[in-house]
């Protein structure tokens, strides 16, 4: 379904008309609009610490923004490192925390972008996410065939405020998180076998 331009204004730092034209372009050119997101992580000398980088991305099979670079340093909270026998502790965010943070960002963005699309006046959006995690598969206590026991259901709480929201507006907003790509990545089954190459030194 195409997007309807209503007023030539800016909302949340976005030119509404340009935004709706982009949605129309994606609707008309779905293959050209496929975005391939990427990240790479290099393990550091200390266990469970990784420096991850985000660079370019693919758009419709073409390489984009190849000079772009963002660095993220993952690890553990010092309390966990101390309990696990680390000699020199360091406070970093854990990879699951990074995934949850990405989930909150994507849910927020999904709500705002769809509110712009439908002309709903949303002002503030805050998302909280958490997930109880059983580390026994990770630590080798349980075999991999019990990996489906690792997580309980994620808890996601979203608070949205807006100007004069009707019941219909509220119902639409309540559905928007289901459109979040990261929400779908985390909550839907994504069958995958990692391509692992092992070199013997």
Q: What is the pLDDT of residues 21-54, one digit of tens each?
A: 999 999 999 999 999 999 999 999 999 999 999 9
Complete edge-to-edge strand list for the sheet that includes strand 40-43? 40-43, 50-54, 70-74
Does residue 46 fall inside a structural domain? no
Does residue 148 fall inside a structural domain? yes
Q: Percentages helix, strand, coil for the chain, rounded to the nearest 5?
A: 35, 25, 45
Does residue 38 contact residue 54 with C-beta atoms inside 8 Å? yes
Does residue 36 fall inside a structural domain? no
Q: What is the domain range of residue 113? A: 94-188
Does residue 144 fall inside a structural domain? yes
Does residue 122 fall inside a structural domain? yes
Distances (CA, A) of 109 to 19, 72, 147, 182: 13, 21, 31, 11
Does residue 14 fall inside a structural domain? no
**Entry pTM:** 0.92
Per-residue pLDDT tens over the stretch 159-187: 999 989 999 999 999 999 999 999 999 99
């Amino acid at each position: 379904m195409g997007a309807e331009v209503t007023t030539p204004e800016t909302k949340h730092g976005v030119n509404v008309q340009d935004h709706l034209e982009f949605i129309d372009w994606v609707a008309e050119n779905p293959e050209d609009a496929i975005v391939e997101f990427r990240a790479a992580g290099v393990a550091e000398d200390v266990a469970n610490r990784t420096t991850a980088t985000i660079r370019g991305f693919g758009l419709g099979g073409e390489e984009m923004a190849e000079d772009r670079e963002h660095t993220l340093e993952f690890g553990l909270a010092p309390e966990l490192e101390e309990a696990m026998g680390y000699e020199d502790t360091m406070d970093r965010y854990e990879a699951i925390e990074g995934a949850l943070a990405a989930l909150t960002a994507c849910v927020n963005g999904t709500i705002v972008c769809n509110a712009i699309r439908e002309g709903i006046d949303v002002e503030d959006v805050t998302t909280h996410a958490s997930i109880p995690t059983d580390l026994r598969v990770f630590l080798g206590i349980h075999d991999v065939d019990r990996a489906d026991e690792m997580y309980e259901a994620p808890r996601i709480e979203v608070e949205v405020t807006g100007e004069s929201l009707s019941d219909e507006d509220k119902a639409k907003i309540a559905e928007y998180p289901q459109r979040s790509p990261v929400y779908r990545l985390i909550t839907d089954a994504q069958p995958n076998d990692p391509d692992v190459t092992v070199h013997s030194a």
